[in-house]
Amino acid sequence: GSAAFSSRGAFILLEGLDRSGKTSQCERLLAFLTDRQIPAEIWRYPDRRTTVGKMISSYLSKKSELDDATIHLLFAANRWEKREEMEARLRSGCTLIVDRYSFSGIAFSAAKGLDLDWCKAPEVGLIAPDAIFYLQIPPEIAAGRGQYGEERYERLSFQKLVAKQFENLMNDDGRWHVIDAQKGIDEIQRHIQELSLPVIERCHQGAPLLDMR
């Protein structure tokens, strides 16, 4: 019937600082949905497997240098090169649990001092998430969850600036959910599950795909 025709998966995004617990929550949400026979998969950005992704990975591991504008555009290009596949997966009915996306792209570059509107521009026209879970954590607490590694950006002073940018990007359009990332892993997960199910249901009922604006 027409409902089946328009039925699609949901785009569920997790954002937050390094060590906020995104990966742990994505994995648990995938297990939960799979258990309930809801088709789902995890996507993460940057996708380090593509040609662009390899350039990003080399930059993050400090094996190469790029100016701030160039790396910003590469992160965006890494989303654009997956846009078509993302749309196809969603339209096939698969829910995508995504670990970082445009908001990380904008927050990290704006934290370096790049113009906010300039940072947002290359994201316009990408597929927009149906729900965004921002795992909110004081940067000092995140830093305490183990030694920062050797990657670029893994410094407390910079993470503080990024946190400020994330808080600026949130709005009250109903898609953003601020989650207290200091709670226990299971409690956070239950909260995310409760908020995700109605979103997935709406998408299955044919809610239109959204574009980043």
Interface contacts to ligand Z5A, rule CB under 6 A: 16, 18-24, 45-46, 60, 75, 100, 104-105, 108, 145-146, 153-154, 181, 184-185, 188
Question: From the CB of 207, what's the least distance to ligand Z5A, in Å?
Answer: 25
Of 9 and 46, CB closest to ligand Z5A = 46
Question: From the CB of 54, what's the least distance to ligand Z5A, in Å?
Answer: 14
Of 44 and 91, CB closest to ligand Z5A = 44
Q: How far is CA 116 from CA 105, 131, 167, in A?
A: 11, 22, 13
Longest dimension (CA), the chain: 54
Of 90 and 181, CB closest to ligand Z5A = 181
User: DSSP assignment of 7-67, as one string?
Assistant: ----EEEEEESTTSSHHHHHHHHHHHHHHTT--EEEEESS-TTSHHHHHHHHHHTTSS---
Question: From the CB of 183, what's the least distance to ligand Z5A, in Å?
Answer: 6
Alpha-carbon 112 to chain mean position: 19
Of 32 and 45, CB closest to ligand Z5A = 45
Question: From the CB of 93, what's the least distance to ligand Z5A, in Å?
Answer: 25
* CA within 13 Å, CB half, 138: 4
- Compute the residue count for the chain: 213
Alpha carbon distance 50, 27 (integer Å): 22
Of 79 and 89, CB closest to ligand Z5A = 79
Of 113 and 184, CB closest to ligand Z5A = 184
Question: From the CB of 18, what's the least distance to ligand Z5A, in Å?
Answer: 3
Helix, strand, coil % over all residues of the chain, rounded to 5: 50, 15, 35
Question: From the CB of 2, what's the least distance to ligand Z5A, in Å?
Answer: 36
- For 162-181, letters b (16+ CB in 10 Å) and e give bbebbeebbeeeebbbebeb
